[in-house]
A and B are shown apart, each in its own frame.
Chain A
Amino acid sequence: GESVGLHLPTLSVQEGDNSIINCAYSNSASDYFIWYKQESGKGPQFIIDIRSNMDKRQGQRVTVLLNKTVKHLSLQIAATQPGDSAVYFCAENLPNNAGNMLTFGGGTRLMVKP
C-alpha cells in the first residue's frame, strides 16, 4: 500500500537556528496531515495539522507547508531549542482510512546542539 516517507533520518542543528523537516507522501487524495513529536519513552505528541485545502499553517514557532503539486510536506521550527530534540513523524489520513486513522512515516530525528 502507499505510505508516507521522509527524506532525512537524522537532522542536526545548532541551538537558535531554524529547522526544516521534510516528508513526502504518495497519495494525492489524502486530505489531512499531521506532524507529531515523540520524545524518548513517550507517546507521539500533536504539534500541528493542515488540511489539503491549505498551503501553509502557522503555530507557535512552527509552520507546516503543504505542496500538493509535488506531494511534499514540511515542518519548520523557528529558533530551535534543546527541548525540540526528538523524533518527528508526519502522518496522513488516507482517503479510505476508517475514522481518523492515520498512516505514519518513518520519522526524522532532530538533534539540537547547544
Chain B
Amino acid sequence: NAGVMQNPRHLVRRRGQEARLRCSPMKGHSHVYWYRQLPEEGLKFMVYLQKENIIDESGMPKERFSAEFPKEGPSILRIQQVVRGDSAAYFCASSPLETGSPLHFGNGTRLTVT
C-alpha cells in the first residue's frame, strides 16, 4: 500500500528556469495539499486541490506559482522563473474525503535554486 509519492526527491534549477514537482496521493485519497518548508521551520500551507479543482490557494504566491490536479495523473506544483528564495522543501499530503482525517505526507522535493 504505497504512501504519498513525490518526485523528484531533489531538484536543482538555475535562476529563471521552471521547476515542476509531482505528487501522487495515497490510493483512495482524492484531496491533495501542498506545503513548503524552509530549514529549521514549520510547514506553511500553499494550496489545497481536489481532482480538477483548486479549493484553497490562499497560501500560494500570486505570481510564478501554480498547481493542478488533473483527472488523470499526479498533482503538479509548478514554479516559473525560479529565484533563490524559492529554495525549500516542498511537501505534498493527501487525505480521504472525510473531514477530521489526518494528512499523510510524502518525503518531499528539495528544490535548490542556484
Contacts and interface: CB of A to CB of B under 8 A. Distances in A.
Interface stretch (B12-20, B64-72, B80-88, B96-104): B96-104
Nearest to A46: B102
Q: Which of B41, B42, B103 has the most CB of A within 10 A?
A: B42
A45 B106 CA distance: 9
A107 B42 contact: yes
Given A41-B107, A43-B106, A43-B107, A101 B101 contact: no
Report the contact-size class of chain A (Cβ under 8 Å from the partner).
20 to 34
Nearest to B4: A43
Contacts of A36: 105
Contact of A98 (B43, B48, B107): B48
Nearest to A107: B42
10 contacts: A34-B102, A36-B105, A43-B6, A44-B105, A45-B105, A46-B103, A98-B56, A99-B55, A101-B33, A107-B40
Interface of B: 4, 6, 31, 33, 35, 40-45, 48, 55-56, 91, 93, 95, 99-108
Q: Which 6 interchain pairs have the tightest Cβ spacing?
A: A43-B105, A98-B56, A104-B42, A100-B95, A104-B43, A43-B107
